[in-house]
Amino acid sequence: MHIRFIRSLLFAFVMLGMSAAAFARIGVVITVGPPALPIYEQPVCPGDGYLWTPGYWGWGDDFDDYYWVPGTWIMPPEIGFLWTPGYWGWGGDSFIFYDGYWGPQIGFYGGINYGFGYFGVGFDGGRWDNGHFFYNRAVANVNVDNIHNVYNTTVNNTNVNHVSYNGGNGGITSRPTAAEEAAAREKHVGPVAAQTQHMQQARSDPDQRASKNEGKPPVAATAKPGEFKGNDVVKASEAGGRYTPPANRGENQPRENGSAARPEGNATGSNPAGHVRDLPPIERPTAPNTGDAKLDKKYQKQQDKQYAQQQKERQKLQQQQEKEDQKVTKQNNDAQKQQVEQRHQQQTQQMQQRHQQQTQQMQQRMQAPAARPEGGGRPH
């Protein structure tokens, strides 16, 4: 896997009446997925009117690494505004970060379960009522001695995982609803100055980088933005999953049509993958072109079915491997850990070889009709 950077302007919906084609997007585009979301507690709300903004993994293109931006409490830019978190999404050949924004409704944030009210869809941590924000004590950590505008509504959070990105291999499969798309077209503004400064401080702290903390940042959350020291700082209790450093960090390869070149057959090169998450995403097959429209349609269906099945097998094996990783980590047995890693490497390679064979067989079937002698006919 190799890193690719794209610098581009950030598009924001700052006025009503802007074109529906406008889209909030992109600071950095890369081909290495972010680590799992770390596990941490929410600090106590510092005062009435603060709203929670969950932590996320940012990317530093100057040091080729993800870094953790701690969750924190923020004063919103306007009464009635809520925070829609940013998220990483797979764009077909690379990961894209879609920036968060403030607006009257919660939009799409990738289906990512950030916790503390942001469980993948909407927000259950509180609500605005007559110009005042009321906190849901079942979700938000609020001191009722200081803040009295509270309520208690239990939330059934069944989607418990720590996946930090949407789409691609192992990512969340959620797609935006009509209401979430409408929210993105409403009046909204980007992060306030305190959020930007908070992010920059995290970016400049080497201890927040994934390669150093291995997915368990020392500052996972803060009571107020920019306060990375003191009693109100919360460290991660554990990483949300096994941390795997990006392969060939910082190395660039020749590019084809503006994107990083990949080994033939989607292979991983000379270094065998030790885990399903180490594999590059499965590339969608190109559209059939046998010269027979009916036959092309038939092969397209077969390709789509095979692609979906391979994605399903990957996700199932990855979930199994991650459970086994977590179990052996708790047991703290180095010999057993090594055995599990070897088994995972074997499983991953076998699955990869099987999928490559399936793809090659599909390509051979598609080429067979074209190779028939003239007048031999084609199957229907």
β strands within the chain, DSSP E: 29-30, 51-53, 56-60, 65-69, 71-74, 82-84, 87-90, 95-98, 101-103, 113-115, 118-119, 126-129, 132-136, 150-151, 165-166, 221-222, 255-256, 259-260
What is the SS3 assignment for 271? coil
How would you write 133-160 as a 3-class SS string?
EEEECCCCCCCCCCCCCEECCCCCCCCC
Assess whether pLDDT exceeds 70 at residue 12.
Answer: no
Assess whether pLDDT exceeds 80 at residue 141.
Answer: yes
Q: Supply the pLDDT for residue 267.
A: 31
Rank 7-11, 61-65, 122-126, 229-233 by mean pLDDT and report only the highest.
122-126
Confidence of residue 345 (pLDDT cuts 50, 70, 90): confident
**Minimal CA–CA distance to 68: which of 218, 224, 208, 211?**
208
Assess whether pLDDT exceeds 70 at residue 372.
Answer: no
Which contiguous run of DSSP H or E holds residue 319?
helix 293-331
Q: Supply the pLDDT for residue 261.
A: 27
* pTM recorded for the entire structure: 0.61
Q: Are 143 and 126 in contact (CB under 8 A)?
A: no
Q: Give me the mean pLDDT over the 330-334 stretch.
A: 79
**Minimal CA–CA distance to 168: which of 1, 354, 22, 324?**
1
Q: In angstroms, what CA-CA distances link 37 with 165, 242, 289?
A: 9, 11, 43
Express each pLDDT in 171-182 by its tens digit.
999 999 999 999
Confidence of residue 287 (pLDDT cuts 50, 70, 90): confident
Q: Supply the pLDDT for residue 366.
A: 75
Which contiguous run of DSSP H or E holds residue 304?
helix 293-331
Confidence of residue 244 (pLDDT cuts 50, 70, 90): confident
Structure tokens at 4: 């690719």
**Minimal CA–CA distance to 195: which of 64, 100, 119, 66?**
100
Confidence of residue 164 (pLDDT cuts 50, 70, 90): very high
- Spans of all domains in the chain: 29-222, 263-371
**Minimal CA–CA distance to 71: which of 125, 6, 9?**
125
Q: Which residues pair with 132 in a beta bridge?
A: 129
**Minimal CA–CA distance to 95: which of 314, 280, 220, 265?**
280
Q: What are the φ/ψ torsions at residue 126 (nearest 5 degrees)?
A: 165, 180
Structure tokens at 360: 């090659």
| 46 Cβ contact list (under 8 Å, min separation 6) | 73, 223, 224, 232
Q: Supply the pLDDT for residue 336.
A: 81
User: Locate tokens 């830019």: which residue?
Assistant: 77
Assess whether pLDDT exceeds 60 at residue 262.
Answer: no
Question: For the chain, what is the mean pLDDT?
Answer: 80
**Minimal CA–CA distance to 63: which of 208, 177, 192?**
208
Q: Supply the pLDDT for residue 328.
A: 81
Question: Which one-letter DSSP state was computed for residue 218?
Answer: S
Confidence of residue 247 (pLDDT cuts 50, 70, 90): low
- The one-letter amino acid code at 247 reads A
Q: Give me the mean pLDDT over the 5-10 stretch.
A: 34
Structure tokens at 363: 């390509």
Q: Supply the pLDDT for residue 14.
A: 31
Q: Supply the pLDDT for residue 62.
A: 84
Task: Give the other-Cβ count within 10 Å of 93's Cβ.
Answer: 17
Express each pLDDT in 86-119 by its tens digit.
999 988 778 889 999 999 999 999 999 999 999 9
CA–CA separation, 181 and 159 (whole Å):
22
Assess whether pLDDT exceeds 70 at residue 13.
Answer: no
Of 157 and 96, more confident: 96
Q: In angstroms, what CA-CA distances link 321 with 238, 246, 330, 342, 349?
A: 18, 18, 14, 11, 13
User: Locate tokens 């088994």: which residue?
Assistant: 343
Assess whether pLDDT exceeds 50 at residue 379.
Answer: no
Assess whether pLDDT exceeds 90 at residue 51.
Answer: yes
